[in-house]
A and B are shown apart, each in its own frame.
Chain A
């Protein structure tokens, strides 16, 4: 095996940061989603049950895998970001970067090897997470995987992997700022920016939100997102009754009043939006989407309205468009990341 890849793989295998991050995703995501699904299926009107029910995009295993997708994308961004930050930044913090100079293996090659092992790390983490989630779904009694469920699992894997790929450019921050803490700070900034931009309605144009859009649109029977998605899912923040009902009709735990549950979750998701855009918005949006949107934007800045309207035509808000755009972005970032690492070391 290539000397740089062998060395980097050994370092990552032994690293407590990488091990803990991998286990946190692989064990944490299925455990969390299984707990959420169990809460939603148990019914009741507790906060947890209502929010968990609102996260369900369908029934059965496919609906459960929808929650897995939502949690996986966030978990992969955060953990891959932290491990990437450590992988590159530690060379500066530990002072080992001096040993990487005056070697026959160039630093560009070492940087490339770090990217290779990080991609393998995130691929295995994502695959193991989805497999374990499928197992947990079977244990919950959601039945054997069908065609829809396999498709949802595939989308979870794709969205999680893309999110991990979007965390890799943090390597450049770690190298340029000579440490892992600046890269972790940048990761926090990305998470906050994603929340704000998505709440403003421009998530479709923001790559860090786009894998989630791609994932949320995975089911062609589901409606497109409304103009005001919350940070988790554009679809579920749609005003109740504004689009066709989710596949399966209603949340499984409360067939009589699915709209009430969605409304309550939507209100919770609107808090950030209200705080940013201003008060006075109707707490519970009316049933008519158009009048709701008009009332929502009356007196608001025009550019914000344009931004939100533009989301509908963003190429990122279609599954294939978002995946393609993200792949292009990641390739560009990797090339820049490699160059940045080498440049700043010298």
Chain B
């Protein structure tokens, strides 16, 4: 009589295939509910944060994204528009041939080949593993080379003493600063940036944020649905912020 613990060849193969698929394949098929990482884990290049802006949905005169950014990061100014910090601003473009007016939000484009990082003498301007280009203000000496190097005028310099910073966004005199894709928020598990949230609340849905590495993320779906382009593609900066609709 055969020992019940002994497997036939067929049973052995079936069981081992089932076990392997249960361990390795099935977890990959189930979409992850939250893309966020635990607080104590380093960011990695497995996440590729990106923004897609649908220019056709962006409404002329609406500044919800700008105001949300100001609130989120405590970017109060001194009523001096030439020097006050702006991390995101609205642009109004008019096509000379057709007179078509387009408005779009302009912020740090989070290039994969960022010129601001190339020129920084102290390494303060850097690109995080997950693609966020930001300033390490502990090492920034305020030379403003990065502001000159940036083709998108994305960076600002803080000229004056500040006192009312928010805890989540430290900033101070003598340092350059720019959009950091709400790094603090998304590290703590948020799936939206302040500007995207504001745009959705207004019902415009022009800004879409998400993880490019995940084909089911909002930004991937938005980019599959329509053609998108980077600004000044001839410079080969490979921005993570893309624009659709013009």
* A and B bind: no
- Residues on B lying within 8 angstroms of A by beta carbon are none
Chain A residues within 8 Å of B, Cβ to Cβ: none
